[in-house]
């Protein structure tokens, strides 16, 4: 049997954000298994790169709290390569692949142009020295990367490893011992990472782990202790072809339920309903296609540190950083604050970071301590290590992998009883993140609109009946097909073919089987007709996600009104990434044991 578990990242989060504004005060201790109050986990964002027998996983991390409280404990199958990741990787992936919904309006000679937006809306999303071997714990590796110190530990005794973590400021509650034992029983190591003594909480940045494996998995079973309802899970998977979920369903959203007049404002709500119709175990493909849609993360000359190292004036240094297009993110801020530290006592006009570093830097620098000397070479070296090198790594990952898949779901704690695995299928079509429909408005001479007809890409129509007055606004929006299912199609995918539609009546049964059986066995039963024929109609366009309808396929609606569980699927070896749907896939990516508070945001 191939190894099913090689890398677990128990990643705990609170509020998702990519902004550079001050972060909220931590609401809990921040540990995945908190000694006092579990932190709420509300989102997960990971970028996977898969090539042959090697998988990289870049995890988006933003932290609020004291630097001394930050700690990350990660089970790994072998000593991993640990690198720094770039915030901009997530930002630009989000910009390039966020779902967008557009209406192309046709008003004819009428006077109802008030409904047409001047430009199609875009959604930025709601989505910023340890001890050596003691007792039964061996420190097999010790190093540093960027602002982090890390060690790799090995032990045969979970209690002793837990004690080592606690003694070395990786405080974890004692009820985490059985989980530690679960991974030690599989011969796994533990990577323990924390901030260096001279680092601040603002130094935290994404981390990349590289393992000798060939397929990703997001284990959610362990997340249920601290997760919030409908927690977003977003994975970008880079490889040579389209990625698919294997032991979770693949879901297509019914676009007739989308609020087209509101530019898809209810998309997240409808997607969550669609996943719930798939027994809470489904992923939606939000984008699948060329990775070239992501604009340059790095290009020659960007943030050129050779130039920066020659600039001995700190004000000119910062101006040149902007001129050279260095990222304006949390990592850049941390580097600037480290090398140009704002004194504790400064006059008015220099008190805030914006005043000191942006508006009045020349004046504020006059209040630096007399013995302070700006070291341009040291700052340039930090810029290279913490900013430029991660940008280069991110660009190299995109250049190496021609195909990008964005998979998204929302999942609640009671649904986290099976870890989703992913594979690749070379026969599937691309999926665009741009969704378009045509709207035709019929208006009277006085500007009153009698109806709006929305024609979807597959030819199906929605008629919104009036009357609407242009001065009062449309008075419509929300779910435009409230009586229809949110999922246009529920499928079980394989590594070849176009997917197998699951009859609605069989979803619950098949979902229960997926807790303990290989997807290949269930796919064979679907192909044999064991569960009968599905009722869904295959859309001709991968973006057209519409279920079959009665009659002529036209739906007419009146304008809507304004608007710690256990693993029930068997043992943890079967339901988690260690067993992984019958042991069919050989790598794993997961969530993390934390001390501190984390912030996260959906792109």
Q: Give me the domain span that covers residue 370.
A: 305-394
- Cis preceding-peptide flag for 467 (omega within 30 of 0): yes
pLDDT band at 550 (very low <50, low <70, confident <90, very high): very low
Mean pLDDT along residues 303-332? 95
pLDDT band at 75 (very low <50, low <70, confident <90, very high): confident
Would residue 274 count as lying in a domain?
no
The answer to whether 521 and 291 have CB atoms below 8 angstroms apart is no
Is residue 473 predicted with pLDDT exceeding 70? Answer: no
The pLDDT value given to residue 288: 99
| Lowest-pLDDT choice from 54-68, 124-138, 435-449, 526-540 | 124-138
Is residue 557 predicted with pLDDT exceeding 60? Answer: no
Mean pLDDT along residues 442-463? 82
Would residue 377 count as lying in a domain?
yes
pLDDT tens-place string over residues 368-406? 999 999 999 999 999 999 999 999 999 999 999 999 999
The pLDDT value given to residue 491: 98
Q: Could you say which DSSP state residue 182 is in?
A: H
Secondary structure (DSSP) of 464-503 = EEEEE-TTT-----S-S-TTS-SEEEEEE--SSSS-EEPP
Is residue 498 predicted with pLDDT exceeding 50? Answer: yes
The dihedral formed by the CA atoms of 481, 482, 484 and 485, expressed in degrees to the nearest 10: 120
| Lowest-pLDDT choice from 164-168, 436-440, 567-571 | 567-571
Better-scored residue on pLDDT, 268 or 125: 268
pLDDT tens-place string over residues 16-39? 222 222 332 222 222 222 223 333
Give the separation between CA 566 and CA 221, rounded to whole angstroms: 8
Q: Which of 52-66, 327-341, 575-589 has the highest mean predicted lDDT (pLDDT)?
A: 327-341
pLDDT tens-place string over residues 122-146? 343 333 244 444 568 999 888 999 8
The pLDDT value given to residue 452: 85
The pLDDT value given to residue 250: 99
Would residue 380 count as lying in a domain?
yes
Is residue 257 predicted with pLDDT exceeding 90? Answer: yes
Would residue 157 count as lying in a domain?
no
Would residue 603 count as lying in a domain?
no
Would residue 385 count as lying in a domain?
yes
Better-scored residue on pLDDT, 263 or 71: 263
Residues ≥6 apart with Cβ < 8 Å to 118: none
pLDDT tens-place string over residues 234-256? 999 999 999 999 999 999 999 99
The dihedral formed by the CA atoms of 393, 394, 398 and 404, expressed in degrees to the nearest 10: 140
Q: Quick one: which of 444, 450, 452, 328 has its CA closest to 391?
A: 328
The answer to whether 305 and 383 have CB atoms below 8 angstroms apart is yes
| Lowest-pLDDT choice from 15-29, 226-240, 310-324 | 15-29
The pLDDT value given to residue 152: 87
Would residue 225 count as lying in a domain?
no
Is residue 560 predicted with pLDDT exceeding 80? Answer: no
Is residue 276 predicted with pLDDT exceeding 90? Answer: yes
* Token pair 């070296």 in the structure block, residue: 381
The size of the chain, in residues, is 603
Is residue 530 predicted with pLDDT exceeding 90? Answer: yes
Is residue 466 predicted with pLDDT exceeding 80? Answer: no
In the chain, % helix, strand, coil (3-state, to 5) comes to 25, 25, 50
Mean pLDDT of the chain: 77
| Lowest-pLDDT choice from 407-411, 455-459, 488-492 | 455-459
User: HEC states along 104-155?
Assistant: EEECCCCCCHHHCCCCCCCCCCCCCCCCCCECCEEEEEEEEECCEEEEEEEE
pLDDT band at 438 (very low <50, low <70, confident <90, very high): very high
Q: Quick one: which of 469, 502, 484, 503 has its CA closest to 546?
A: 484
The answer to whether 283 and 245 have CB atoms below 8 angstroms apart is yes
Ramachandran angles phi, psi of 95, nearest 5°: -60, -40
Better-scored residue on pLDDT, 64 or 250: 250
Number of domains forming the structure of the chain:
1
Is residue 51 predicted with pLDDT exceeding 80? Answer: yes
The pLDDT value given to residue 70: 78
Tokens of 503: 């009859």
Mean pLDDT along residues 527-534? 86
Tokens of 180: 């530690």
Residues ≥6 apart with Cβ < 8 Å to 528: none
| pTM, full prediction | 0.77
Give the separation between CA 103 and CA 511, rounded to whole angstroms: 36
Is residue 148 predicted with pLDDT exceeding 80? Answer: yes
Is residue 555 predicted with pLDDT exceeding 60? Answer: no
For residues 371-387, b (16+ Cβ closer than 10 Å) or e, as one string? eeebebeebbebbbbbb
Would residue 359 count as lying in a domain?
yes
Residues ≥6 apart with Cβ < 8 Å to 55: 7, 48, 49, 210, 211, 213, 214, 215, 216, 587, 589
Better-scored residue on pLDDT, 215 or 278: 278
Give the separation between CA 478 and CA 257, rounded to whole angstroms: 8
The pLDDT value given to residue 170: 79
pLDDT band at 321 (very low <50, low <70, confident <90, very high): very high
């Amino acid at each position: 049997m191939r190894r099913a578990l090689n890398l677990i990242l128990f990643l705990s989060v609170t509020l998702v954000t990519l902004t550079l504004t001050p972060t909220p005060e931590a609401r809990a201790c921040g540990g995945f298994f908190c000694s006092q109050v579990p932190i709420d986990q509300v989102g997960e964002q990971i970028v996977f790169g898969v090539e042959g027998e090697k998988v990289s996983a870049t995890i988006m991390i933003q932290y609020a709290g004291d630097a001394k409280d930050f700690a990350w404990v990660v089970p790994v199958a072998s000593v991993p390569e640990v690198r720094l990741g770039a915030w901009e990787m997530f930002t630009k992936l989000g910009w390039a692949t966020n779902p967008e919904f557009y209406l192309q309006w046709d008003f004819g000679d009428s006077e109802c142009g008030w409904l047409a937006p001047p430009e199609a809306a875009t959604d930025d999303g709601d989505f910023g020295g340890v001890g050596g071997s003691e007792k039964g714990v061996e420190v097999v590796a010790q190093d540093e990367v960027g602002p982090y110190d890390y060690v790799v530990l090995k032990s045969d005794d979970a209690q002793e490893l837990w004690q080592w973590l606690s003694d070395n400021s990786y405080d974890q509650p004692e009820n985490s011992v059985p989980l530690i034992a679960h991974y030690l029983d599989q011969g796994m190591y533990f990577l323990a990472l924390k901030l260096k003594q001279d680092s601040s909480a603002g130094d935290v940045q994404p981390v990349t782990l590289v393992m000798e494996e060939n397929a990703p998995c997001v284990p959610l079973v362990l997340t249920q202790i601290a997760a919030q309802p409908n927690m977003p899970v977003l994975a970008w998977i880079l490889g040579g072809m389209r990625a698919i979920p294997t032991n979770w369903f693949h879901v297509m959203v019914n676009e007739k339920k989308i609020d087209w007049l509101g530019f898809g404002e209810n998309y997240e709500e409808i997607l969550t309903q669609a996943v719930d119709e798939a027994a809470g175990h489904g992923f939606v493909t939000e984008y699948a296609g060329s990775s070239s849609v992501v604009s340059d993360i790095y290009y020659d000359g960007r943030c050129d540190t050779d130039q920066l190292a020659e600039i001995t004036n700190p004000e000119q240094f910062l101006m040149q950083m902007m001129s050279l297009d260095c990222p304006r993110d949390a990592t850049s801020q941390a580097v600037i604050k480290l090398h140009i530290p704002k004194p504790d006592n400064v006059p008015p006009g220099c008190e805030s970071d914006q005043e000191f570093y942006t508006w009045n830097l020349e004046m504020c620098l006059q209040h630096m301590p007399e013995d302070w000397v700006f070291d341009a070479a040291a700052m340039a070296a930090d810029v290279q290590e913490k900013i430029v090198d991660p940008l280069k790594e991110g660009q190299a990952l995109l250049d190496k992998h021609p195909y990008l898949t964005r998979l998204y779901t929302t999942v609640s704690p009671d649904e986290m009883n099976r870890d989703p695995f992913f594979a690749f299928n070379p026969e599937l079509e691309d999926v665009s993140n741009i969704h378009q429909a045509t709207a035709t408005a019929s208006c009277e001479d006085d500007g009153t609109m009698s109806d709006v007809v929305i024609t979807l890409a597959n030819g199906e129509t929605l008629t919104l009946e009036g009357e609407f007055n242009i001065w009062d606004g449309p008075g419509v929006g929300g779910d435009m097909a409230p009586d229809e299912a949110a999922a246009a199609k529920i499928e079980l995918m394989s590594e070849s073919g176009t997917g197998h539609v699951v009859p609605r009546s069989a979803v619950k049964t098949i979902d229960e089987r997926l807790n303990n059986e290989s997807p290949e066995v269930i796919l064979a039963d679907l192909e044999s007709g064991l569960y009968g024929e599905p009722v869904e109609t295959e859309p001709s366009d991968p973006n057209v996600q519409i279920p079959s309808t009665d009659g002529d396929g036209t739906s007419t609606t009146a304008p809507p009104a304004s608007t710690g569980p256990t693993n029930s699927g068997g043992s943890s070896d079967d339901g988690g990434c260690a067993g992984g749907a019958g042991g069919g896939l050989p790598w794993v990516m997961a969530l993390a044991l934390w001390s501190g508070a984390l912030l996260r945001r959906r792109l």
